[in-house]
Amino acid sequence: MAKKRNEDEKGKVYGLRGETTPQEISYTLESNYMPYAMSVIVSRAIPEIDGFKPSHRKLLYTMYTMGLLTGARTKSAKIVGQTMSLNPHGDAAIYETMVRMARGNETLLYPFVDSKGNFGKVYSRDMAYAASRYTEAKLAPISAEIFRDINDMVEFVPNYDNTMQEPTLLPTAFPNILTNANTGIAVGMASNICSFNLAEVCETTIEFIKNPEHDILSTLKAPDFTTGGELIYNRTEMEEIYKTGRGSFKLRAKWRYDKKNNLIEVYQIPYTTTIEAIIDKVSELVKAGKLREVSDMRDESDKQGLQLAIELKRGTDPDKLMQKLFKLTPLQDSFTCNFNLLIGGNPKVLGIAQILEEWLAWRIECIRNQVFADLQRKKDKLHKLKGLRKILLDIDRAIAIIRETEEESEVVPNLMIGFGIDEIQAEFVAEIKLRNINKEYILKRVAETEDLEKEIEDLEDLLNSKARIRKKIIKALEEIAKKYSEPRKTEIVFDADIEEFDVTEQVEEYAVNVFVTKHSYFKKITPLSLRMGGEHKLKDGDEIFQTFESTNGAEILFFTNKYQVYKARLSDFDDTKASVLGEYLPAKLGMDEGEQVVFTCLPGDYSGNLIYVFENGKVARVALSGFVTKTNRKRLTGAYSAKSPLIAAFKIDGDEEFVLYSTENRAIVFSASALTVKSARDTQGVSVMTLKTKYKVCNAMRLSESSIQNAPRYKTKSIPAAGARLNDEDRLDKQMTLL
């Protein structure tokens, strides 16, 4: 019978028999979740200073050991299989990593994998890559710059099963962290690094090495992407990104107009979107009646590259249509930067200058490691040659010692004793072939000794000279830029030259009648349709409580029982008929559960005021200008005070008189001019009607709309006041409330 496991001081969750014991959440997080989170951050999702994640590094190093830097392409399936010796996450994950690094996929600006076959496209969601058994790959020529002198430059560690060694980093001879886009989502943090043009990065790095105060924006103009397009340049935004490593900028598509066929051809799109996302959004807008200028859109992408065709209706201005598409679709998109990378195992968000500083320090260390390893090899060789030189002075004696030694194991000790050399030198001499004991060999070895001494002296000077190492880095960067640089793919356009789409100019203006029901249904009906239609169709128990006459382009505000206001345009709603229920506002506006509309108004130019009447007898006068927003926010919280239930609300443009009714059968008439205009939307207001404990305000309306016959009876010299008891002729046949 199995024995139960003993509980430790924190307690185990499960025993062998399935029993459970309580466990503190802090212990669970510390013992289970934190190791997982750290593993994802340090060993999976965040790139390091060489610009690679572990999965990238393992794949490329495997291809390097397979001889694919200079050899012919081989099947991708073979590469994937070999990579599993370093990366145990499965063939699908490894192949997907290879796809994103391949030239054919166009994810990287400077791909490291030279591919053959269908590797899909980064700009297409549905263009799937072929299986690994059908495609072939090798390392691209630029990969030579990330493997040169790798054995001497970086540290090697055992792989997951301790059967082979792998590098901790790849000694990239250029700042690869900036030249290729990299995205990663870890636990509690993420990384999103945009790509830059190689020539600009190399030039900037060279200038930064020469002068750490170099103006980076003067040489590193802006990011560059494989999909091209246009980058809308704002210097302030770019300076913020370069300085802090955080921020965003806008990318938009490139297009041309085919006048003969009356269509727009989009041939470059933002790096952040796909052709399917663009087509889906355009189709959605066409169905909603917001893109009446478009008759058809299709994907014409082929082996020559990306192309989207947008057929226009007759009379459409292509420039204005593209402005509209940039505003409403992913044809213009934002790239959010988060330059988060691992430095010494710690995640850090760095600006461009800081990244270059860290890369330079790391690259100097790589070169020092390489120089030190080369120096040690030359010193070892010189040490052996010095021993050989001693023996060559009396070669006959050496031959005699070897010949007279009875046992092979005694040859090295006897040479050490006979010539005063150490074991390494004696072993080297003993291994010399008999054919090499001639004058020519001796003279060459002596000359080589002199050359080695000069080389060692030069290497020691290089090892101790940061200036010489920096010159070496600069020279390598110049050669790389000359050999691998390409023209920019993403064109830079200045934001001052961009004409923004104004939605108000594009909305078709015509007269409309608006109806809002107590159950939050909304109808927008043209006057003609209203005259031709019959009675309003309403749900059981529902009724219309607000109506407006306006135009299609007007804004409208919806106030809800959750103290929020939703902004929209009448053009956002479809024209309908009286014979339908209309659109359900909570669903249309994305309201919270249980949220209902209690008041609606057309703000116009936001020059008027709102009057809020609360159940506790207080009334607030709020400036409509408080609801103006500079951005396209659709929902504003704190639309009115939550201290007491809202009984009624009114929009006024000047001074008006209102009537408040209480459950004590009293009424009070007051003027809006008696209330001070407040800028805070959620102000509690001032007391207008004093109420006894068990009574409350039950209704409010404009005096002109009430049944009050003797208004002076209910007016007071000052507020608050209790009001006067209602006469029979002033009573309402039916009291209406909002709530």
Annotated catalytic sites, by residue? 134
- Contact criterion met (CB below 8 Å) for 145 and 170: no
Distance CA 589, CA 670 (A): 35
β-strands 230-233, 491-494 pairing:
parallel
* Residue 155 tokens, joined: 């540290």
Query: Please, is 547 exposed, middle or buried when counting C-beta atoms within 10 Å of its C-beta (0-12, 13-18, 19+)?
Result: exposed
Query: Please, is 79 exposed, middle or buried when counting C-beta atoms within 10 Å of its C-beta (0-12, 13-18, 19+)?
Result: buried
- Contact criterion met (CB below 8 Å) for 245 and 177: no
Other Cβ atoms less than 10 A from the Cβ of 517: the count is 21
Distance CA 505, CA 690 (A): 50
- 650 closest CA partner among 640, 635, 637, 665: 640
- 418 closest CA partner among 431, 403, 439, 438: 403
* Residue 611 tokens, joined: 């009057």
Other Cβ atoms less than 10 A from the Cβ of 660: the count is 23
Q: What is the DSSP letter of 32?
A: I
Single-letter amino acid code for the residue at 136: E
What DSSP string runs through 419-455? HT--HHHHHHHHTS-GGG-SHHHHHHHHHHHHHHHHH
Distance CA 74, CA 80 (A): 11
Single-letter amino acid code for the residue at 695: Y
- 522 closest CA partner among 468, 569, 563: 569
* Residue 659 tokens, joined: 């009537």
Query: Please, is 729 exposed, middle or buried when counting C-beta atoms within 10 Å of its C-beta (0-12, 13-18, 19+)?
Result: exposed
- Contact criterion met (CB below 8 Å) for 198 and 110: yes
Reported in sequence order, the residue ranges of 259-357 that DSSP labels E, i.e. its strands, are: 263-268, 294-299, 308-312, 332-338, 340-343, 346-349
β-strands 618-623, 677-678 pairing:
parallel
Percent of the chain as helix, strand, coil, to the nearest 5: 35, 25, 40
